[in-house]
Structure 1
Amino acid sequence: MLADLRMSHVVAGIVAVLVGYTGSVAIIFQAIEAAGASQAQANSWMLALGVGCGVSSLYLSLRHRMPVLTAWSTPGAALLAVALPGVPLGEAVGAFVFCGVLLWLTGVTGWFEKLAKVIPDAIANAMLAGVLFQFGLGVFTALPDAPVLVGAMCVAFLAGRLLMPRMAIPLVLLVGIGVAVASGQFQGGVGALEIARPVFVMPEWSLSVMIGVGVPLYLVTMSSQNMAGVVVLKASGYAPPVSSALSVTGLLSLALAPFGGFAINLAAITAAICAGPEAGEDKATRYWAAAVSGVVYLLLGLFGAAVVSLFLVAPKALVVTVAGLALLATIGNALNGALERPSAREAALVAFLVTVSGISFAGIASPVWGLLFGVTVLYVLSPEDRPWA
């Protein structure tokens, strides 16, 4: 099994974690501040989230032999940043525990897995392309602000694709770091490198906080993260182990809640990096990319504040460009899968456009609306393409 590990797996796993941290650390810090947590408790939050993602990614990817990558709930952190001011920390932790129970129950009952099986492949691919679209676009929107850095990375990508295709993304990352360091684009200092310690907070039970914070945290985690994570794996050609994944992440959320692990769930964007062609030519061995991510999550979680500060001082253009270039092949494959069948093309296009639009109604994010709109159009115009027909 270990003989299947390739450099492409290692690089994809590291890039996935890099994108995960840089894309959400600032939001998590806002949630920590809103909760009124101390510095030691803040380090414990990052430790709990890193351990939760690491353990679940390692276990699920190795058990199911597919790139089942997990993450913390970034939309959930954004919700907490708004909902937690004025809420005692113990009651907030009680809401985290309640959310973990709901996530675990969703996994063990199996209803969500049944729902996931009826999502048409064309609509799943369209939603995936829509979710990743902004990342591909980000390469070019970052170009005017950092032309030398982004330009050098794009040239490295082209050279890598021509000369050593499997090493194109590692080359992009190395060139980006080199140019950023040489031009002084790493701004600010890095905290002391010390191992974070878990800090236990006794849960307190408030019905209003459980309903007002715990239930919305569960809903945004399910709609914005777990649904998207299932679609990413489905669109990448895998049969996602939905119930197993939700049971494991729900149980970990429940266990880590008193230490700040507010919600662990299936990853979406970062999972696409591990499940896509850039992670390896052989689809059957890409689970190693998610396993590598799990190890990296564990290591980074242990070093709390120092690692987080490093991600915060990295130039945004570097991360955006690495992510966009790493996802190009996945975006192309998703678009091809979405538009391949003429009879489902209009429905897939609707799903793609709604997802790209970024609309949000009733606290439900655009990817879920994209799925709903796309399935509705498919149901009306192309009944022969319904997966349940």
Structure 2
Amino acid sequence: MLKDLTFPAIYMGLLAAFVGFSSSFAIVLAGLSAMGATEGQVATGLFFATLGMGIGSIWLAAATRIPAAVAWSTPGAAFLASTQALPGGFPEAVGALIVCAGLIVLTGLIPALGRAVAAIPKPIANALLAGVLLPLCLAPAQAAGLAPWAILPLVGAWIVGLALHRLAAMPATILALIAVIAFGSDNGAAVQMGGLPDLTPIAPVFSLQAVISIGIPLYLVTMAGQNIPGFAVLDLHGYTYDRPPLLRRTGIVSAAFAPFGSIPVNMSAITAAMMSGEDAGPDPARRYWAAITSGVAYVVLAVFAAPVVALAAVAPAGVITAVAGLALIPALVGALSGAFGEGKRIEGPALTLLISASGTTLLGISGAVWGVLAGLLVWGVTARRR
């Protein structure tokens, strides 16, 4: 293996890890907090989610010798952030996280389950993803009306970074976030910049409501928003592999860390594109080292989970969700394009988007589930009509 190690692979692996963490950690914080996690539980969840990305990337890439990188479920975290907390609090959410991980493992064991998920019309799946992302993407505009002095610098930094390079947008925003916290926080407490969070697992609570409202929708957005696009990236670059073992491994890692409050991990899409292309080296057979390097970097970054959460805790109100919203704008644009780009039978995707984004809970079932069901119904009706 070591003979395949190249400098371009190391560089792209380190860059991918930095981009992957800095561009979306705020979404994970928002998602865990919305589920009722305490500051300590958020730090623990972030630690294990980052560690899961690291271990998963090293495991998959070393086993397959392809750049099969692992990321946390960004759309899944966004879904959690836009969903009402369960009556049983965070322990009930942890139960749903375990169920979601189990479903991912089952998808790797039962091919028919994977085919069933893939059979959901792409416009409906993309509309579900857009509906999940939309509430968070509105956060910067909503927060700007309450604290423009804190939000506008973030938006400005995001625009400047975007003008330089698409991948520079969120790192620039994070630098602005640090400045806003340093100069604008009214909390005078010092931020602890070292140490690990509490590594004690949380006793899960399992309920049918949690499975239906959180576990299944989280599984669907993870599959549709991350795993399927992640496989598409590897296919695009000509890699040969079997999908089921990759799904099983990401599911196993997710299941191992879910009791600690970690969101699921899955196939990487955006950062996988960075590590699968020629920038990671001229020889495709040696690019797997980029994914291994990113995994090592994620393991190191996991150590900083506690100080990151402590820093976020003293941020002005609305700032963290605003950063999360800015990070999700490209994903929202892609989802909307996938939902309505063809311009045909758009009523079903539109209904899915509206219901999923509404935050409505009916009979204890989240709007994401109702959105998919309603969208599929209308999709079938319009197919008959036309």
TM-score above 0.5, yes or no = yes
Tell me the residue number matched to 2:225. Answer: 232
- Say if 2:20 is the partner of 1:13: yes
Tell me the residue number matched to 1:36. Answer: none
**8 Å Cα contact 2:13-2:291 kept in structure 1:** no
Tell me the residue number matched to 1:69. Answer: 71
Deviation at 1:370, TM superposition (A): 2.0
Tell me the residue number matched to 1:56. Answer: 56
Q: Identify if the C-alpha distance between structure 1 residues 154 and 107 changes in structure 2 by more than 3 Å, giving closer, same or farther.
A: same
Matched AA of 2:331: T
Q: Identify if the C-alpha distance between structure 1 residues 228 and 244 changes in structure 2 by more than 3 Å, giving closer, same or farther.
A: farther
Matched AA of 2:16: H
Distance (whole Å) between structure 1 residues aligned to residue 98 and residue 272 of structure 2: 38
Deviation at 1:347, TM superposition (A): 1.5
Deviation at 1:137, TM superposition (A): 0.7
Matched AA of 1:18: F
Tell me the residue number matched to 2:320. Answer: 319
Q: Which moved more, 1:373-382 or 1:301-310?
A: 301-310
Distance (whole Å) between structure 2 residues aligned to residue 44 and residue 166 of structure 1: 27
**8 Å Cα contact 1:227-1:368 kept in structure 2:** no
- Say if 2:29 is the partner of 1:22: yes
Deviation at 1:220, TM superposition (A): 5.0
Q: After TM superposition, list the pairs within 5 Å mapping 1:1-389 onto structure 2.
A: 3=8, 5=12, 9-26=16-33, 30=36, 48=48, 50-56=50-56, 59-60=59-60, 65=67, 68-70=70-72, 78-79=85-86, 81-82=88-89, 104-105=105-106, 107-184=108-185, 188-191=189-192, 193-195=194-196, 213=206, 219-220=212-213, 222-233=215-226, 236=229, 238-239=231-232, 243-244=244-245, 246-252=247-253, 255=256, 260-261=259-260, 265-266=264-265, 275=269, 284-285=276-277, 298-299=299-300, 301-302=302-303, 305-382=306-383
**8 Å Cα contact 1:53-1:71 kept in structure 2:** no
Matched AA of 1:231: A
Query: CA offsets, 1:261-308, max 9 Å, x none?
Result: 3675246xxx9xx745xx698695599999888556534544665554
SS at match of 2:332: helix
**8 Å Cα contact 2:185-2:315 kept in structure 1:** no
How many residues in Structure 1 have an aligned counterpart in Structure 2? 355
SS at match of 2:361: coil
Q: Identify if the C-alpha distance between structure 1 residues 315 and 12 changes in structure 2 by more than 3 Å, giving closer, same or farther.
A: farther
> When the two structures are superposed, what TM-score results if normalisation uses the length of structure 1?
0.69
For structure 2, list consecutive stretches of 5 or more residues without a partner in the other structure. 1-5, 234-241, 281-287
Deviation at 1:111, TM superposition (A): 3.8
Distance (whole Å) between structure 1 residues aligned to residue 102 and residue 129 of structure 2: 28
Distance (whole Å) between structure 2 residues aligned to residue 58 and residue 123 of structure 1: 33
Query: CA offsets, 1:334-371, max 9 Å, x none?
Result: 21221122322111111111111122334433223222
Deviation at 1:372, TM superposition (A): 2.1
Distance (whole Å) between structure 2 residues aligned to residue 301 and residue 289 of structure 1: 18
> When the two structures are superposed, what TM-score results if normalisation uses the length of structure 2?
0.70
For structure 1, list consecutive stretches of 5 or more residues without a partner in the other structure. 34-38, 86-91, 204-208
**8 Å Cα contact 1:339-1:345 kept in structure 2:** yes
SS at match of 1:69: strand
Q: Which moved more, 1:281-290 or 1:313-322?
A: 281-290
Matched AA of 2:148: P
Deviation at 1:227, TM superposition (A): 0.8
